[in-house]
Amino acid sequence: MPNTIDELIKQVEARQDELVQLLERLIRFPTPAPPARNTDEAQRFIASFLQDNGFTVDKWDVYPGDPNVAGVLKGSHPEHYKSLIVNGHIDVAEVSEDEAWEQGPFTPVVTDGVIIGRGAADMKGGMAGALFAVQLLHEAGIHLPGDLIFQSVIGEEVGEAGTLECCKRGYTADFAVVVDSSDLHIQGQGGVITGWITVKSSQTHHDATRKSMIHAGGKRFAASAIEKMMRIIQGLQELERHWAVMKSYPGYEPGTNTINPAVIEGGRHAAFIADECRLWITVHFYPNETYEQVAQEIEEHIRQVAAADVWLRENPPRFEWGGSSMIEDRGEIFPSLEVDPDHPGVQTLKRSHEGVLRMPAVVDVSPTVTDGGWFGHAGIPAAIYGPGDLHNAHSVNEQLSVRQLVDYTKVILKFIYEWGHTKK
């Protein structure tokens, strides 16, 4: 049996068929979200896999049918060596019935150097590589001196934050790597928060009274909530333009921080003046900002807009931010993650990448969001590093290069080994 890390890295190349088969096995579990509540079988497989490789496993329901799995491999000298969380989500993007897949989204196909199937890039490829690395270490009898925690979480695709539930359950480490799609870049990320802005009248009015309302020149102090929401939307556009000029972050194009008026709901009947209107917005912000901060900025700006309007001044907008699930309560939060390039965990990951692949590591920012922000929010230094790219994530015939999967597995194997042997 190989018993050095360099020999194990060679084993990844020699046994790549096993690695691909492991990814195929994961793809065959249909875990799209929405509809969600369908990950139990896949999570039982991962729990069993971790147990077979020496982990103590904690499995608990976040929602019925959607459990988290956290496996702990205690180090031989955890008081003296660094601990690590390897984190990934088992849910995948939703699939429509009319999509033209090669063989079906959950029937993996290996052809022309790629593996095709829902989740290949986002992010069962990252999960398969990390699991295979764990298996190789176990088979070689290598016992890390530092603790290793492997998290397979639910709900990332619909903002259900299985990773947040792991943090709440007390799982922590000296560093965390989220093995989500990054094209083998070491990444931080901006954040996302959704919110509802509600404009509501305390009184209802027949539509025949419109001619006498304040906006029509009459003396009745009333207005359409839908029309007043138009003023709110204009205010959001003004703030978005202000942000585009006044805020920036290295690696992002100007104006990446956006306020999207995504859904509007209002009115009750054609015979009524609309007495309520609700606007669902999605806000993207930079890695050096918090969701609390940007929510406060929006509220302050819109309150100023409302103060300048005679009716909104008396009927001010209400705000509801975030949520725990796009399915359950139509809301989500993805905190930002700012990566410190000088952090020992990032430096070790860079050296592992460069030592294995003989090419410079790229440290940059993701154009999308992952669960990585929950680690930063919990005070755990973290980075995103995984195979797959965003051109394939969520796409029909989603695919992952087998070569990149093998390269990634080599790097994550070396990184787990090196970080687990790093003294505190």
Q: What is the pLDDT of residues 236-274, one digit of tens each?
A: 999 999 999 999 999 999 999 999 999 999 999 999 999
Label residue 217 by pLDDT band (50, 70, 90): confident
Q: What is the mean pLDDT of residues 400-420?
A: 98
Q: What's the domain count of the chain?
A: 2
Same domain flag for 15 and 102? yes
Residue 175 inside a domain? The answer is yes
Same domain flag for 256 and 214? yes
Same domain flag for 184 and 195? no
Share of the chain above pLDDT 70, in %: 99
Instruction: In whole angstroms, give the CA distance from residue 92 to residue 139.
Output: 30
Residue 329 inside a domain? The answer is no
Same domain flag for 238 and 94? no
Residue 331 inside a domain? The answer is no
Q: What is the mean pLDDT of residues 176-192?
A: 98
Same domain flag for 57 and 94? yes
By DSSP bridging, strand 92-93 and strand 276-285 are unpaired
Peptide bond before residue 108 is cis, with ω within 30 degrees of 0:
no
Residue 77 inside a domain? The answer is yes
Label residue 218 by pLDDT band (50, 70, 90): confident
- In the block, tokens 């509540």 appear at 37
User: Which tokens hold the place of 208?
Assistant: 């025949």
Residue 107 inside a domain? The answer is yes
pLDDT in tens, 102-122: 899 999 999 999 999 999 999
Question: Are 166 and 70 in contact, with CB atoms under 8 Å apart?
Answer: yes
pLDDT in tens, 310-337: 999 999 999 999 999 999 999 999 999 9
Q: Round the average pLDDT of the chain to a whole number and report it.
A: 96
Same domain flag for 153 and 26? yes
Residues 101, 106, 110, 112, CA torsion sign: positive
Same domain flag for 197 and 316? yes
pLDDT of residue 3: 63
Provide the whole-model pTM. 0.95
Same domain flag for 302 and 356? no
Same domain flag for 113 and 167? yes
Instruction: In whole angstroms, give the CA distance from residue 421 to residue 53.
Output: 19
Is 91 an annotated catalytic residue?
yes
Q: What is the mean pLDDT of residues 1-27?
A: 92
pLDDT at 2 over 70: no
Instruction: In whole angstroms, give the CA distance from residue 419 to residue 350.
Output: 12
Active-site residue (options: 91, 147, 174, 407): 91
pLDDT at 1 over 50: no
Same domain flag for 175 and 210? no
CATH code of residue 248: 3.30.70.360
pLDDT of residue 158: 97
Active-site residue (options: 156, 183, 332, 371): 156
Residue 326 inside a domain? The answer is no
The residue out of 321, 352, 381 marking a domain boundary is 321
Instruction: In whole angstroms, give the CA distance from residue 376 to residue 354.
Output: 25
Same domain flag for 46 and 29? yes
Is 79 an annotated catalytic residue?
no
Residue 105 belongs to what domain range? 5-190+337-420
pLDDT in tens, 160-177: 999 999 999 999 999 999
